[in-house]
Structure formats: C-alpha cells, structure tokens
Amino acid sequence: MSQAQSPSSSGSSALVDTSRQGNVLVLTINNPPVNAFSPGVPEGLHAGLDMAEADEGIQAVVIIGGGRTFIAGADIKTFDMPREQAPDLRGFITRLDAFSKPTVAAIHGTALGGGLEVALACNYRVATPDAQLGLPEVKLGVLPGAGGTQRLPRVVGVQKALEMMLSGNPVRAAEAEALGLVDELADGDLLTAAVAYAEAVAMARPLPRISERAAEGSAELFAAARAGLGKTHKGQLAPGLIVDLAEMATQKPFQEGWDAEAALFMQAKDSPQSRGLRHIFFAEREAGKIPGLGKTTPQLEIRSAGIIGAGTMGGGIAMNFLNVGIPVTIVETAQDALDRGLGVIRKNYENTAKKGRMSMDDVEKRMALLTPTLSMDDLKDADIIIEAVYENMDVKKEIFTRLDAVAKPGAILASNTSTLDVNEIASVTKRPESVIGLHFFSPANVMKLLEIVRADKTSDTVLATSMALAKKIRKVGVVVGVCDGFVGNRMIHHYGDEARKLVEEGAKPQDVDAAMHTLGLPMGPFEMSDMAGLDVGYLIRQHQAKVAGQPKPDGWLDRIVEQGRKGQKTQAGIYDYPDGRKPVPSAATDEVLNTYRSEKGLQSREISQEEATKRLTYSLVNEGAQILDEGIAQRAGDIDVIYIYGYGFPAYRGGPMQYADEQGLSSVVADLENYGHTPAPLLKKLAQEGKTFADWDKEKARA
Ligand code: 3HC
C-alpha cells in the first residue's frame, strides 16, 4: 500500500500521521507490527478528528493503517491495565460514530476485533480484495466490547453475525462486500480509492450510521444458537454472552445494547477463561522464539521430503507435506505395507472430498506428489527425511546408519520417536548436527502439535529450519530437550500413574475420567488409554521390568490386557465398546478390580471429584515444574502450548501450568503434600516466593 502522495499539509502524533489530500484528511495509524489500538493511538486519532472539525476546508476523513494491516484489534497487552490507563477505544468509537463529516475506513490486511469495530463506526468502508474482516474476541475468552455485538448484526444480519462472532473467524473482502460490510473493493492503490470514495460522498447527507439501523432475529434463531453452544463451546462464558448481546441488538435501542456490552465485556475479560486464552495467545507466539536464534540464523530450503514408514504415523506425516505442495517419497520394506499405507492416505483425502472440503481434483494433485518406493536409495535427493517406524532403538540406529550413507550432504535427518534418546540415534551418523527429533502426534495429519527435539549436536540451522517448516505445514512447533518422553509424554506418564492409583484407592475408572471432563477435557485418562491401545503401555511395562530384572508386572491394568482387552481396537478395554467408539463402564473391569483389591488387601474409600481432578492435574504440573528446572522445556508457556495442541487440554484453561497459576502455587504445593506427593523443588520455591510460573517465564526472558 502506498502512502498519500504530495499532501498539501501534514502533521503527526507518535502513532498517527495526518496528511491532507485535497479536502480529505487522512489519518494513518503507524503502530507496528499490527496497528493494535495501543496507548497513544486514540490520542492521535482524536487529534486528527479535532483537526478535521476545526478546518472547514476538510470535508471528509479517511482512516487507514500504515504497514501491513488495518487495526488488528484492541491491544491485548493492555487488558490487565487499570481502566484509566488503558486506551479508550469505546470513547473514540462514540465520537467517531457521531462525527459530523463523512468518515471512511480504508482496510487492508486484517480488520479484527476493535479494528473492525472502528471500521463499523465509520460511515463507509473500502477494502482491498485480500483484506479480512472479523471479530475474533471469542478466541480470547471475551466478546466484541466496542460496539461489535450491536453493530455487526445490524449490517450482516443476526445469523451471519453470530456465525462470525462465535467462530471468531474472519470473512474475506469479497464476502464482506456481498454482506454489505464493505461498500467498495479497491481495484488498485487502497488510499487512492479510499480518498476518491471520500470525495464522492463528501457532501452526502444524512450520514449513514450503522447504530441507527435495526436488526432482526427470531426467538427460534436465538434458541438454536444457545442450543448449539453445548456442542461448540461447552463450559465457556463468552459465547453465551455474545448470543445474549446479539439478541439485545434485535430488541433494544442501540444505546442500551452498547451499555450492556461494556459491562459484560468486563465480566468476560476478568474471568480465568479469558486469562487462560490470552495466556495461550502469547505463549504460542513466544514458543516460536528460541534464545540464540534469530532472523539471521541461516535456514535450509525444504523442497522435498522423504518418509520412512507408511504406517499410520508415516502416512499422516506425509499428508502434512502433500497438503502444502511439498513432494514426498515414502519408503516401506514390503509392497503390501506400502500399498496399504498409500490406500489409507488416499482414503483420508477422499473422505475429506466427500465432506466437500476438497475437490477430487485436489485429491489427485496431492496423490501425484507422493512417490512410493521400497528402496531407501530413492531418498538421496530429499531435503528432509523423517523416520517413522516403531519405537525400537536398534531399528532406528540401523535406519540412521543407512540414511547417513544415502542422504545428500546437509539434508535434515529426523526421527519421529516419542520417547527415545535422539543423541543416541544421532551418534550412529557422521553428521549429528543434521539430526533432530520431530515428534508428531497422532493422527499426524490432524493434531497441530510438533515437539521439535533439539539434540546436543543439532545445529542452529537445522533447528531454525525445523521451526519454519512447522509453520509451513501448519503445526505449532515447540522446542524440547532430550529425555525419556520429552515434555508431553513424560508428563502424561505421571498422569496415567496417578489415574491408576486413584482406581486402586477406590475410584471407578468412569469417575476418574469424569473428573477431567469437568475441567473441559474431551477424554479422561482411561478413555485416552483405551483409544491409544492398552497393549502399548503393557508391553513397555513388561519390557522395563525384564530389563531391570524385576518380577513381571501384575497391576490391575496388566490383568485387563491379559484378558485380551486392549482398548477400542478390540472393542473392549477398561471400558466396553458395544457400538465401536462410545465407552460404556464394564462389568469385566469391575470384576478384575474387585479381585485385585481383595488379593492385594486394598481398602476402598470414597474419592471426591475434586480430589481426582486435583491429583490428576497436579501430577502434570509437578512433573512440568521438574521439566522446566531441567531445561527440557524453555518456558512454562511452552508446556501449556504442548498440552493444548497435543493432549486436548482446553485452551480456556490456559494449559496445566497456567491452571496451577490460577489456583495459586502454594495451594498446589499444599494439595500435593496432602496427597502424599513430593512437590518438585522449583514448584516449592516459586510457591514460597509467592510467584507463579508466568513470573518464572518473565524472569527467564529478562535474564
Ligand atoms: N494486541 C497486542 N499484540 C498483538 C495483537 C493484539 N491485538 N495482535 C498481534 N499482536 C502481536 C503478537 O503478539 C506478535 O507479537 P510478537 O512479534 O512480539 O510475538 C505480533 O503482534 C505479530 O503477531 P503474529 O505473530 O500473530 O502475526 P501474524 O501476521 O501471524 O498474524 C494477526 C497477525 C492475524 C493480526 C494475529 O496476530 C492475530 O490474530 N491477532 C489477534 C487479533 C485479535 O484477537 N484482535 C482482537 C483483540 S480483542 C479486542 O479487539 C477487544 C475489543 O473488542 C474491545
């Protein structure tokens, strides 16, 4: 976007430039990177309106963003500021709506949240064809708080406004134009088009004001919207308030809805849910920052990938590359396994096409990027090779030895191991600097998390390339260190142990799972184990005992597996699965438990849901603190990102570490001790100092 040419006069505040284009005053917001409505922005905009008011020669005002975007919203960093210090978006919008001369919002990039609310308070909106407009506040646990809930339904209709506000997803400019949200699409330069538009409407009166329009919506529509929330936003505060306010827009004068919105916005903003979601917004962005690495760190270009293993994991990983147009060579040891793997990939794509989310043409285009082979030699040109075979160190070492001989110099050699020592894997190559762990989560084409395991000798270039690659294939990459299970699985191991103990002490598996449902997790620990397959953990336990020379494990869970009950895949595990996927409490499991308890002389006691929730969640937190202390994770926020994108922890809780911060670390320590656990030293220290994990992250970032 070019700036105004040859202004006849100009002025500026720190964040808002003013310039004249004939009889139009242009206010350009310059608050990089995204022109958030930060302190200083309203002051600059008010000064601009003052100027427009005072000068009779100015007949219209254009508001535009400098740099890459229009205003991308209120400044989220100011949400916790005292009210009097926070930028007064509502005050500015009130003035803008009542302004006596025509105002035009010139939109490029993203007009989001408060940004779209500013645009809605202008009389007209002009946008570039690639602009996006939306009210994403729900993703931060709040509602549009500067008129959005009242104005959007008055423009696009209640149904569409609810869809936009409840999903938080933006619409593209062409759709916005069709909806009446945008008055004109700019063909060429945005500013030129917006100034021309402003000149054309300079004398038009009365000024069109969205606040003066009416919105319509039936009782049935709102009832259906409320009923839908149970499915899409279970347990969340803001979505229900959004529906209430949209309904008000149809029933009450604008001013009444506007006032109600202010009060409800504050209620949502001050909720733990909003704190959790805002925490994750920033944690996700922080996770992309690695101390010592920056924009100048060289990166490799990834134009092709090789994948070893066409099983569920390898196939899922391949799809991520195919989806973004990167050709993949996939290797198996036998033709039937290769055919099966390719068949599954094709079927996945065809199912997506059946649901109307891609065309059959796209399916074929993606499949055409995939080259199946039985020979590892065919990986010689790949820029990155990802091994995705089963968890066995000897097998992985053999593969990496082979890869070292085959791969071209500089190629990234990655293992998808979920537990094994990446240093040991790297040690069999002559190029350990090229070796890294890329731990995808199952199903790998769906789950957004990618644990990026930095081994001792992994080069900065390989790490930086892997982070960039994660973004390219639309994953959230989080760097972790080498240890058994890295971050996610190491913590989940303790969670699983705690769940088993709860049952030994008397809880029913379904009660333990229900305790985690109340926190908003879609699955409890036992439902998750049944889905993953109980035999995996069983085999690991048996193997570990054998290696350690200990007797064969004989826990209640081992006994269930020994009855052939391996989980969902055998339609029987801890639960029964009479209709395939829905878990039903099992009499067989009850019997195993009764026998087990009586044989071992275990006394059963009543365990409250509160105790179960605390013990399970704090088992994650305690191990998380230990992981932080060891430097396996860089930040508590990284752990939260891992749990939200890899393990279904609800984003509105902010992840386990943020959840612990909300409870207060001294109460977490007291509870852990009360339940017979030893709190991790870092957790204890922070609690004693009256600090939070967030404080720890901040101190570390400053250090
Ligand atoms: N406030 C403060 N900082 C913000 C911000 C905001 N609204 N939006 C983005 N940022 C920061 C990010 O934290 C990041 O900072 P960093 O470089 O220090 O990590 C930087 O801007 C760039 O952001 P991204 O890395 O996300 O850049 P992208 O180009 O990938 O995405 C974006 C740009 C689409 C604008 C994306 O940042 C985004 O979705 N932002 C949030 C938009 C939003 O939620 N707006 C509504 C705010 S709430 C509101 O307006 C309330 C009102 O109704 C009263």
Hey, where are the domains in the chain?
A: 7-269, 305-480, 491-600, 622-702
Across the range 59-80, mean pLDDT stands at 97
- Cα of 30 vs centre of ligand 1, distance in Å, is 15
Higher-pLDDT residue of 2, 598:
598
Q: What is the C-alpha R_g of the chain?
A: 29
Across the range 632-639, mean pLDDT stands at 98
What would the pLDDT profile of 388-426 be if each residue is shown by its tens digit?
998 889 999 999 999 999 999 999 999 999 989 999 999
User: 11 falls in which pLDDT band (50, 70, 90)?
Assistant: low
Ligand 1, atom 45, lies closest to the CA of 73
Are 179 and 255 in contact by the 8 Å Cβ rule? The answer is no
Choice from 34, 68, 476 to test ligand 1 binding pocket (greatest atom count within 8 A of CB): 34
Minimum-distance ligand 1 atom for the alpha carbon of 69: 35
- How far apart (Å, rounded) are the C-alpha atoms in residues 524 and 34? 39
Minimum-distance ligand 1 atom for the alpha carbon of 265: 54
What would the pLDDT profile of 579-596 be if each residue is shown by its tens digit?
888 999 999 999 999 999
Domain 491-600 has CATH 1.10.1040.10: yes
- Cα of 74 vs centre of ligand 1, distance in Å, is 9
- How far apart (Å, rounded) are the C-alpha atoms in residues 159 and 162? 5
- Cα of 195 vs centre of ligand 1, distance in Å, is 27
Active site residue 398: no
Average pLDDT, the chain: 95
Minimum-distance ligand 1 atom for the alpha carbon of 89: 54
What would the pLDDT profile of 298-322 be if each residue is shown by its tens digit?
999 999 999 999 998 999 999 999 9
The three-class DSSP label of residue 314 is helix
User: 19 falls in which pLDDT band (50, 70, 90)?
Assistant: very high
Count of helix runs (H) and strand runs (E) in the chain: 29, 20
Fold of 7-269: 2-enoyl-CoA Hydratase; Chain A, domain 1 (3.90.226)
Pocket of ligand 1, beta carbon within 6 A: 33-34, 36, 72-77, 89, 110, 112-114, 117, 136-137, 140, 144-146, 148, 282, 285
For residue 273, what are the contacts with CB-CB under 8 A and spacing of at least 6?
A: 141, 236, 237, 238, 652, 653
pTM assigned to the model: 0.94
Q: For 302, phi and psi rounded to 5 degrees?
A: -105, 105
Across the range 663-678, mean pLDDT stands at 97
Active site residue 117: yes
Q: Which of 137, 247, 451, 527 is catalytic?
A: 137
Secondary-structure class of domain 305-480 per CATH: alpha beta
- Cα of 598 vs centre of ligand 1, distance in Å, is 57
Which pLDDT score is estimated for 454? 97
Which pLDDT score is estimated for 12? 61
Are 182 and 122 in contact by the 8 Å Cβ rule? The answer is no
Which pLDDT score is estimated for 84? 85
Among 111, 155, 157, which Cα is nearest to 130's?
A: 111
Q: Which of 53, 117, 332, 504 is catalytic?
A: 117
ipTM of the complex: 0.99
Which pLDDT score is estimated for 62? 98
- Same fold for the domain at 7-269 and the one at 622-702? no
User: 544 falls in which pLDDT band (50, 70, 90)?
Assistant: confident
Minimum-distance ligand 1 atom for the alpha carbon of 72: 35
CATH assignment of 622-702, among 1.10.10.10, 1.10.1040.50, 3.90.320.10, 1.20.58.220: 1.10.1040.50
Which pLDDT score is estimated for 357? 94
What would the pLDDT profile of 460-506 be if each residue is shown by its tens digit?
999 999 999 999 999 999 999 999 899 999 999 999 999 999 999 99
- At position 322, the amino acid (one-letter code) is L
